[in-house]
Amino acid sequence: MKTLDDAWNPRDWETFMKRHAENVALYWPGQPEPTRGRHADHSESVGFFHAVENHIENDPYMILFGQGDHTCSVARWTGTHTGPLKGLDGQIHPATHRKFSLEFCTVARWKNGEIAEEKLFYDLVGFMTQLNLLPKATVTATAQYPSEYRSKAPFLKNPLYYSREENAYRRKHRTPTMA
């Protein structure tokens, strides 16, 4: 794993490609289907660097372990939005030049010294928020309702967040739309 991230940081694409199997499946947060194939992964990674100058702090990793043919790493991921990037709304957004810092987790399944399947995990909403790429209504609504007021947030109506009194009232006055 370390050699892969050591290749990612300086964009050593030759080593990066050697660490991925020809038919690798790569799962990114927010992507409905995995990226399939070494060359598609490489092309996508190069494109990502055009949009986001970034670095994985992997010396040392926050967490690194393996079991069988799997590895798992967690690292600090930092960078700056420097080029056009597709947002969660599907729109292409110009560079904001804003910085981000997140935890980045990679779970990889290895076969014959190459990654056959790679799953990437990071806080996509946090990433987009730090880059100022979320629709304003989402950011405003989320900021307006901190955790202690979640039961009052209309978009977060979840029985777990209701007070005892609210739950009793809802049970007593249940309607088909409240079921």
Question: 123 and 151 in one domain?
Answer: no
- List the CATH number of the domain containing 19: 3.10.450.50
Question: What span, in angstroms and rounded, lies between the C-alpha atoms of 143 and 85?
Answer: 24
- Give residue 169's pLDDT: 63
Three-class SS string for 60-111?
CCCEEEEECCEEEEEEEEEEEECCCEECCCCCEECCCCCEEEEEEEEEEEEE
Question: 161 and 122 in one domain?
Answer: no
Question: What span, in angstroms and rounded, lies between the C-alpha atoms of 19 and 56?
Answer: 16
23 contact partners, CB below 8 Å, separation of at least 6 = 36, 37, 38, 116
User: DSSP per residue over 110-164, as a string?
Assistant: EETTEEEEEEEEE-HHHHHHHTT-S-HHHHHHHHHS-GGGGGG-GGG--GGGS-H
Question: What span, in angstroms and rounded, lies between the C-alpha atoms of 27 and 116?
Answer: 11
Question: What span, in angstroms and rounded, lies between the C-alpha atoms of 141 and 134?
Answer: 11
Question: What span, in angstroms and rounded, lies between the C-alpha atoms of 109 and 173?
Answer: 52
Question: 179 and 104 in one domain?
Answer: no
Question: 14 and 84 in one domain?
Answer: yes
Domain containing 175 equals: 145-179
Looking at the domain assignment, is residue 140 inside a domain? Answer: no
- Give residue 165's pLDDT: 66
- Give residue 30's pLDDT: 87
Question: 57 and 121 in one domain?
Answer: yes
Question: 17 and 49 in one domain?
Answer: yes
**For each successive 10 residues of the chain (179 residues), what is the average pLDDT?**
90 93 95 94 92 94 96 96 89 94 97 96 94 70 52 48 59 57
Contact between residue 100 and residue 111 where contact means Cβ atoms under 8 Å apart: no
- Give residue 115's pLDDT: 97
Question: Residue 10 — φ and ψ, nearest 5°?
Answer: -90, 10
- Give residue 167's pLDDT: 58
Encoded tokens for 9: 């940081």
Question: 53 and 30 in one domain?
Answer: yes
Question: 126 and 153 in one domain?
Answer: no
Domain count, the chain: 2
Question: 158 and 118 in one domain?
Answer: no
Encoded tokens for 142: 């989320």
Question: 122 and 56 in one domain?
Answer: yes
